[in-house]
Amino acid sequence: MKKTGISLLILLPFFIACQGLVERMAFFPDTADLIAPGDLPENVRELFIHPEEGIRLQSYFLADSASDKILIYFHGNAGNIGHRLADLQHIREMGVNVLGLSYRGYGASSGRPSEEGLYRDGQAAFDFTRDSLGFTENNIFLMGRSLGSTVAMHTARNKNLAGVILVSPLSSARDQAGVMGMGLISPLAGNAFNNLEKAVHLRCPLLIIHGTADTVIPIGLGRKLYNAITAPKRFITIKGAGHNNLSSPQYADAYWRAIGDFITPDGDDAR
């Protein structure tokens, strides 16, 4: 026991360093390219959420007074929520309220990004939506794109939500390292960003959208996650689409139709 304990103490800094390496490779925040509050469209309000002391999270709220449903949007690993404003507006036009979040260290949010920090940010956005904006749990959708899929999956655990939408999701950081040609060192990713581990805790309806030509997070990882989930689910493939062009004119009709069918009343039969 003593020898094992000493070995663990020796290895602990190594594992901590590996976690730091994974996170440095995961986050590419933009804190410079910001939209001034006065330049926001009329229907967009900038709100700030406080997940913990010393952290302030920027968010955009797009209201639809005719709807009792809301979608919380978790973006990918680069940029900030301002770069997704067009997507937020498109979703708002489908007839739901929308809250888009910039994680800690992104956009005008304070702090520094980390895996656990992003998960706390996701929960804080959910709590704010329920407690401050007044939406009930079963009227809340979560949408996570790319790395944001891990925030959506973590936040959705054991909740009776209206549904979860994952766009180009990964199964785990370890799997992702493998497809990036880092197979020999993929074990160093450990349990980071492990959507598979959270799959058993998903209760609500799920939609996954993935492009067949995605070379960043290949569609096989999205299918691996899909196969691990037992909740009601649907997998939509966008033929020929890559990782960053799902909403481009070539693929936009199929992409937005899948999302609209899921979140609007006409899509109830799909859930």
The full set of domain ranges for the chain reads 2-28+41-270
- As a dihedral over the C-alpha atoms of residue 212, residue 218, residue 222, residue 228, rounded to 10 degrees, the angle is 130
Question: What's the CATH number for 2-28+41-270?
Answer: 3.40.50.1820
pLDDT on residue 157:
98
Model confidence, pTM: 0.89
CA distance 173 to 192: 6
**2 pLDDT more than 90:** no
Confidence of residue 268 (pLDDT cuts 50, 70, 90): very low
In the chain, the largest separation of any two C-alpha atoms, in whole Å, equals: 65
Q: Give me the chain's average pLDDT, please.
A: 88
pLDDT on residue 16:
40
CA distance 39 to 111: 24
Mean pLDDT for 212-233 is 97
Contact (Cβ atoms closer than 8 angstroms) between residue 196 and residue 169? no
pLDDT on residue 26:
81
pLDDT on residue 267:
45
pLDDT on residue 190:
66
Contact (Cβ atoms closer than 8 angstroms) between residue 212 and residue 240? yes
How far from 146 is each of 9, 67, 96, 217, 229, CA to CA, in Å? 35, 27, 22, 8, 17
Contact (Cβ atoms closer than 8 angstroms) between residue 90 and residue 158? no
**10 pLDDT more than 50:** no
pLDDT on residue 95:
96
Reduced to 3 states (helix: H, G, I; strand: E, B; else coil), residue 22 is helix
Q: What is the pLDDT of residues 12-31, one digit of tens each?
A: 333 344 455 456 568 999 99
Of 87-101, 174-188, 207-221, least confident by mean pLDDT is: 174-188
CA distance 135 to 96: 12
pLDDT on residue 33:
96
Q: What is the pLDDT of residues 163-205, one digit of tens each?
A: 999 999 999 988 988 776 655 454 555 689 999 999 999 999 9
pLDDT on residue 177:
82
Considering only residues 268 and 98, tell me which one the structure prediction assigns the higher pLDDT: 98
CA distance 203 to 267: 18
Q: What is the pLDDT of residues 238-259, one digit of tens each?
A: 999 999 999 999 999 999 999 9
CA distance 212 to 234: 16
Of 9-18, 74-83, 260-269, least confident by mean pLDDT is: 9-18
Residues carrying an active site annotation: 146, 214, 243
Q: Which residues contact 84 (CB under 8 A, 6 or more apart)?
A: 73, 75, 100
Contact (Cβ atoms closer than 8 angstroms) between residue 67 and residue 96? yes
Count of alpha carbons within 13 Å of 46, Cβ hemisphere only? 17
pLDDT on residue 116:
96
